[in-house]
Chains A and B, each alone.
Chain A
Amino acid sequence: MIEVTNLTKQYGETLAVDNLTFTVRPGIVTGFLGPNGSGKSTTMRMILGLDSPTSGTATVNGLPLADHGRPLTSLGFLLDAGAVHPTRSAHDHLRALALTNGLPTSRVDEVLDIVGLGEVGKRRSGGFSLGMGQRLGIAAALLGNPDVIMLDEPVNGLDPEGILWIRHLLQNLADEGRTVFVSSHLMSEMELMAEHFVIIGQGRLIKDISADELRAMAVGEKTQVRAEQLDDLVGLMRGDGIEIVSGDRETVSVRGLTSGEIGRIAQTNNIALTSLIPEQRSLEDVFMSLTHDTVQYQGGSRMEAAA
């Protein structure tokens, strides 16, 4: 379990993380989403004890990570897949990491096999492709067989097959009861992977929400209506707070009434509906509008401050 409480980080003028509070629970994959520069990596560095918070706390299983005797057995992490020495072999890289936490060398071979790098473990990691580098980073995260796994943009640069592989791996880890916390700036990468989302913008929490709740938000406010006596129906639907925009001759788009309500109006007035389609937004779209709002709000308030 990861608990972040009133976490704030200020770098000079930049408020990178602003009073964040959330809990990452075991047994599910939690997606950590936010646009570029929203503070995801900074939050993760604070969870790792690398950057010290300006205020607030971040704990792993109830304790700051640095206070764990063998941190890698509590939390496995991937911060930057490029953090390897190019002339050192993948095997040596992992073995050095294993030694710091008193883990046996046999575990190095195990994790190399898990991520599919068993064959190339003795090769210099500098020659690895982007995807292989990412797999090596994930191998390092699995090394201590930790109950908490935290990955910063693990999908970055992976091909569809690689993304699928990570999705299955993370799902399995979560099914084993582990806490899995994965960041991304793209909802499209996360929507099939995560069961819960922590969404931030400008360092602030926007939504701490389950995937189901988020999908419910994706059901749009508008309904596309086609009917034989469309003009009559439009007349009946008119009312306070209801917006009707006509599309082509036989279609209108209605906001302010649910498709159920429209259906009932049509039925009681003997109007035959030819189609009734609730607008469905993509999760990406929901994410964009959620984070876009904060960005705009921020921009506005900053301009006011300057004026």
Chain B
Amino acid sequence: MTTALTTTNPSSPTAPNESSESIMTTTTLTAPVTATRTPKVPTVGVIKAEWLKFWSVRSTAVTLLAAGFATVAFGMIFSAVAESDEPAGPAALLSDPVDLALGGIGLSEMIIGVLGVMFVAGEYSTGLIRTAFAAVGKRGRVIRAKAAVLSASIFGVGLAAVTASVILGQAVYAGSEATSAVTDVLDVIFGTTLYLVGIGLIGAALGFILRSTAGGIGTLVGGVFIGPNLLNLLPDSFTDVFMKYLPSEAGAAMMTQVSNPDLLSRGAAYAVFTAWVVGLLGLAGWLVKRRDA
């Protein structure tokens, strides 16, 4: 820890702190020599700080856990209802047992997207983002740390929830022949988890770009969740070409083992979805560094 200021002799500058080998001996400052070029804090410090911020606030921590819970709960309800052979039930819409077990994803992805927006835009409304930018110095490090924390948190909770949904959904479904290959099921589990991570990151990017919770949520819901449904109203000749490149449609291809001619192949879907996430985060970083905080 630092001590109170030492009165240094201008002609023989003493080391201001333990790691100052790099200070040149020719410095002749009149003011007390202070650590002008202190060694950088490792990025892991900034990540730890963001991790603590994420998990020390009810709105973010509880929201993520709620999304995980919703995934499992709705998946089980859908699977159980399907077993009872009600023709009007979700079984009529979803044919694949794994898809059925992940029937709750539509809700959780929205919750997680909103969480991403809140995690970032919330700091714009409290003013904490300024504290973070000034304390860290380099804004890119704050953005990367927030993205890392969101990714790790969503991945952990998402993977657990998605896996539990698939297993518990199969257990309550039980009625049908389980034909899926294990590798296909794993593809779905990872694809779904990574899609949730990506949606959270898109939410965070929108938070940085728009700096407002309402604006971020509006854009996210409009652009990712509702917009594609509206585009469906356009002529097929148009939607057939463009629709599948939207984040939600690329996500749909990542989250199913059922092949669908309207969707991209799994590999192409990953590439397109990654491009959306990286592109939006890149735009966020570019804007944040140029704008006043």
Contacts and interface: CB of A to CB of B under 8 A. Distances in A.
Contact of B45 (A45, A49, A85, A101): A101
> Which secondary structure dominates chain A's binding surface?
loop
Interface in A83-105: 83-85, 87-89, 92, 95-104
A26 B135 contact: no
B183 interface: no
Given A71-B137, A84-B126, A96-B52, A101 B41 contact: yes
Nearest to B37: A69
Contacts of B135: 71-72, 97, 100-101
Contacts of B130: 45, 48, 50, 79-80, 83
Q: How large, as a class, is the contact surface on chain A?
A: 35 or more
A18 interface: no
B174 interface: no
B56 A100 contact: no
Interface string A90-123: 0010011111111110010000000000000000
Contacts of B258: none
Interface stretch (B27-35, B68-76, B232-240): B27-35
Contacts of A97: 49, 131, 135
A282 interface: no
A28 to B, nearest CB: 13
Q: How large, as a class, is the contact surface on chain B?
A: 35 or more
> Which secondary structure dominates chain B's binding surface?
loop
Contacts of B3: 145
A80 B137 contact: no
B35 to A, nearest CB: 7
B31 A26 contact: yes
A80 B40 contact: no
Contacts of B31: 1, 26, 61
Contacts of B56: 88-89, 92, 96
Nearest to B47: A99
A264 interface: no
A305 to B, nearest CB: 27
Contacts of B59: 87
Nearest to B133: A50
Interface in A117-162: 140, 144-145, 147
A281 interface: no
A104 B48 CA distance: 13
B36 interface: yes
Nearest to A86: B126
B6 to A, nearest CB: 9
A87 B122 CA distance: 12
B2 A83 contact: no
Contact of A70 (B32, B39, B57): B39
B36 A74 contact: yes
A51 interface: yes
Most B CB within 10 A of own CB, among A61, A69, A100? A100
Given A70-B41, A88-B53, A88-B57, A63 B36 contact: yes
B182 interface: no
A253 to B, nearest CB: 48
A62 B41 contact: no
Contacts of A71: 134-137
Given A70-B41, A88-B53, A100-B45, A178 B5 contact: yes
A176 interface: yes
Interface string B107-121: 000000000000000
Contacts of A26: 5, 31-32
B134 A65 contact: yes
Interface string B1-40: 1111101000000000000000000000101101111111
Nearest to A80: B127
Nearest to B132: A100
Contacts of A61: 31, 34-36
B261 interface: no
A77 B135 CA distance: 9
A220 interface: no
Given A66-B137, A89-B56, A176-B5, 19 more contacts: A48-B130, A50-B293, A52-B292, A61-B31, A63-B36, A65-B137, A69-B39, A69-B40, A70-B38, A71-B137, A79-B131, A85-B53, A85-B57, A92-B52, A99-B48, A103-B1, A145-B2, A147-B32, A176-B4
Which 7 A-B pairs give the minimum distances between C-beta atoms? A83-B127, A99-B49, A69-B38, A177-B5, A51-B292, A69-B40, A92-B56
Interface of B: 1-5, 7, 29, 31-32, 34-42, 45-46, 48-50, 52-53, 56-59, 122, 126-128, 130-138, 292-293
